[in-house]
Structure 1
Amino acid sequence: MSRDALIFYSEFDDPEAWKKTLTAELPDIDFHTDPDAVDPAIVHYALTWKPPAGFFGRFPNLKLVTNLGAGVDSLVGRDDLPDVPISRLSDTGMVSLMSSYVLFSVIRYARDIHIFERAQRRGEWKYIHPRALSDIRVGVLGLGELGGPAAQALVRTGFDVRGWSRSLKDIPGVRCSAGSDTLDDFLRDIEILVILLPLTPETRGLLDARRLALLPAGAKLINASRGAVVDEPALIDALQSGTIEEATLDVFTVEPLPRNHAFWSMKNVLITPHLASITVPEAAAREVAESIRRVRSGLPPLHGIDPRRGY
């Protein structure tokens, strides 16, 4: 009797780490990384991140596709995606990493660390009296499985936290609003904006020049979701003009960020290489295995998504 097989594809994740952790959870599954070295008919599961065009079409008996990450925008619009359940990763390790990145980025601005960094390079002792954290208005744009916990972490730290999402959420300590008709008012009152939205047709370019201009003078922007949620040329203009004072950017329209891109030379921009929240196999393998067990039992997987919506 043929065993179940899983095909793995990612140019960024370690296949050996995934094989070790996943087969420990599911010893009856065959783990493959080479599509040409396995009988396509026995491949029932795919664990992938941005596989090449046509990848899924060669496996006629897929029962589950799992995306190696929280964002599934790379799956939207593919013409080879099978009509099977699709899940994404959302393990506790990813949540902790994102929350820590958001806390670091917000606190860096709230405690004026960016100013002290520049003063140190000038050899200047520059004192700025700290503000109470409860007086600093932080807005989290997107309150999903990563944004919600990040907002809660900011509340626990003592910030005045507001949140915006597509549908209304109820998060203790967070002043929540929802829907496109409330977004402009939300932005007008935010000192530090944290973007944690998925990339969908509705969110692509959501923060255009008009909306960026709604942020108060001196606002800071942190984007740890997808670069295309923000109109990049408009953000460059806003940072150059001072409409937005500072930005911390982990994601970009084109990645890796091209060497000649304007962001590299901007002193008011901190760049990190898309690592705010990454998948740790040791933690995530348990969820992948549980989704496979559920599909085998006729149940939906964990963290199922609708690729037509983009989340």
Structure 2
Amino acid sequence: MSFLLKSTPERAQVWKPLFNKALPELEFHVWPETGNPEEVRFLAAWEPPPDLLKRFPNLEVIFSVGAGVDQFDMSAIPEHVTIIRMIEPGLTDGMVDYVLWATLTLHRDGLTYIAQQKKHVWKARPNLVAVQRRVGIMGLGKLGAPVAQALAINGFTCSGWSRSRHSMPNVTCYAGAEELGAFLATTDILVCLLPLTDATRGILNTSLFEKLPWGAQLINAARGAHLVVPDLLEMLESGQISAAILDVTDPEPLPTDSPLWDDPRIFITPHIASSSQTETAGRVLLDTVKRYLAGERNFPSRVDRSKGY
């Protein structure tokens, strides 16, 4: 029985000795070296190799080394294989930090002051305190819920919207398509942390933007394919959207001729909002494997194929 890692050398250097010490009976291989392919029961990867069933006929579990699984071709993964996404403290903390930074940047007119500095303009804008700024989180899962709590703790008037009903202190929660309009109507800064599925692809579009208050602002730290770029640019020109911080684009890297680069109302970061931390992620992965070997199957991070996350 063996575990196969298809990821970065940095992860391999930390995870292999960690597994060898804690589970010496489980052979640990680093792609492209696989050992006996019939012995591979566990695979951790960002993108699995092709022909999974032919390569590894006894594969039982695939781990995503990231929080999402939209990069997986689900049709190529046999139904009996369990898919588990990465949820670990370092990844969550990183997303909380990023969204807090982005929210405060927009809240305190950071993009306006950056543009003014480039033009050598000294001009103050009125300040609002956090409680006067309504921040709405789309997606209240393993990343969205901690982000919403952190924003509320920092004084923002916070709400959240998700497919299923949630409840959390100091956050007004909305659920389902029938409540999306009410959620958007009370959101000054919209944060997208949704999983990418067929239902959410292109959700950040003109129809949605028009339901926001005039001059609303956008943070997308989920996936680039959530956003319809021409619609955002049109909304920026009209003033319906006043600023956006984008950590993700479609495609990535963002092409050099994209109009997003040079718009002063848009701030771009290169998909760095959050990433799994090698040490803590390795320990979470090891713990999950141990629990699986002990017979556990109901993991909170287990992917529901019917939902796509």
**TM-score (norm. length: structure 1):** 0.92
**Deviations 1:97-124 (Å, cap 9, x if unpaired)?**
0000000000001112222222222223
Match of 1:300 in 2: 297
Question: Within the alignment, does 1:256 sit opposite 2:246 as a pair?
Answer: no
Deviates more, 1:56-65 or 1:280-289: 56-65
Question: Any conservation in 2 of the 1:137–1:192 contact (CA below 8 Å)?
Answer: yes
Match of 1:122 in 2: 119
AA aligned opposite 2:273: A
1 CA distance for matches of 2:62 and 2:298? 10
Match of 1:153 in 2: 150
**Structure 1 counterpart of 2:6, from 5, 9, 17:** 9
Question: Any conservation in 2 of the 1:72–1:307 contact (CA below 8 Å)?
Answer: no
Distance 1:36 1:281, change over 3 A: closer
**Deviations 1:246-305 (Å, cap 9, x if unpaired)?**
111111121111121121121111111111110111011111111111111111163111
Deviates more, 1:288-297 or 1:228-237: 228-237
Counting aligned pairs with the same residue, the percent is 38
Distance 1:247 1:67, change over 3 A: same
Question: Within the alignment, does 1:91 sit opposite 2:88 as a pair?
Answer: yes
How do 1:229-268 and structure 2 match up within 5 A?
Answer: 229-268=226-265
AA aligned opposite 1:234: D
Distance 1:57 1:217, change over 3 A: farther
Could you say what secondary structure the match of 1:51 adopts?
coil
Distance 1:23 1:107, change over 3 A: farther
Match of 1:309 in 2: 307
AA aligned opposite 1:310: G
Could you say what secondary structure the match of 2:261 adopts?
helix
Could you say what secondary structure the match of 1:264 adopts?
coil
2 CA distance for matches of 1:23 and 1:281? 16
Question: What is the CA-CA distance between 1:210 and the residue it aligns to?
Answer: 1.1
**Structure 2 counterpart of 1:62, from 59, 64, 89:** 59
Distance 1:289 1:300, change over 3 A: same
Distance 1:257 1:13, change over 3 A: farther
Unaligned runs of 5+ in 1: none
Question: Any conservation in 2 of the 1:62–1:82 contact (CA below 8 Å)?
Answer: no
Question: Within the alignment, does 1:79 sit opposite 2:76 as a pair?
Answer: yes
Question: Within the alignment, does 1:44 sit opposite 2:41 as a pair?
Answer: yes
**Deviations 1:151-200 (Å, cap 9, x if unpaired)?**
00000100000110111111100011100111122112211000000011
How do 1:156-175 and structure 2 match up within 5 A?
Answer: 156-175=153-172
Question: Any conservation in 1 of the 2:111–2:266 contact (CA below 8 Å)?
Answer: no
**TM-score (norm. length: structure 2):** 0.93
2 CA distance for matches of 1:235 and 1:13? 37
AA aligned opposite 1:67: S
* C-alpha RMSD over aligned residues: 1.9
